[in-house]
Structure 1
Amino acid sequence: MDRDRPDAEHLVVVESLSYPSGHSMSAMAFYGFLIYLLFHLKMSRFLRSFLVIFFVLVILDIGLSRIYLGVHYPSDVIAGFLGGFIWVAFCIILFNLIDLLRRRKRNNREMEENLQT
């Protein structure tokens, strides 16, 4: 993963290597998980749709800005998006697993209380 940045003149000063784009990965991980959480909150369909579209556009804009600034190749941004997506998937699985274990523990406690009465 030791790839130099594009040769074009950068609009910002960067010293690190290029692959993958950390900004793209962070944007996908953060806003992607927010999108997931939106589907677990009670809100109007219009507001949810608006926020999902807004967050998707923010993710894409951050990726495109890295290419525009000349600090990443498109493949760097795509790799960042994929890495961020994998992180979101991992967090969703972990989130659901914790929720499942909490429910199981609560159900076991309720069953024990019912047996005692």
Structure 2
Amino acid sequence: MKLNHINLPVADLEAAALFLETYFGLRRRFNPEQSEDDSELIILLDDNELVCTLMQADRASFPGSFHIGFVQSSEQQVNEIYQRLQADGFQVKPPRWVHTWTFYVHAPGGFTVEVLAYKELA
């Protein structure tokens, strides 16, 4: 069994979707214009067919430690995403070793994203 669907209420639907598309390669599967009712949601897919549903919320609120994560295959990939985010004006602290090579970024829409790579085993 695998986890294959998450639902995130977000304060800015379009900005959150664009962020996930731009930095993490998710692709749109469904836009609000396609809805037969008045649902304000965007459905995104990743390369493994994980379904990420973003739903418009007046106020998105998550517990302090809540986050979603994107595991990279190397420290270099983590560094490259960090550099892109920083160059684009996001306030991010540099990656560091905690339990993994990792950093966190506050995404548009009100949720936190962790970008990480596990230590390479020799």
TM-score under structure 1 length normalisation: 0.29
Looking at secondary structure, tell me which structure has more helix per residue: 1
Q: Which has the larger radius of gyration?
A: 1
Looking at secondary structure, tell me which structure has more strand per residue: 2
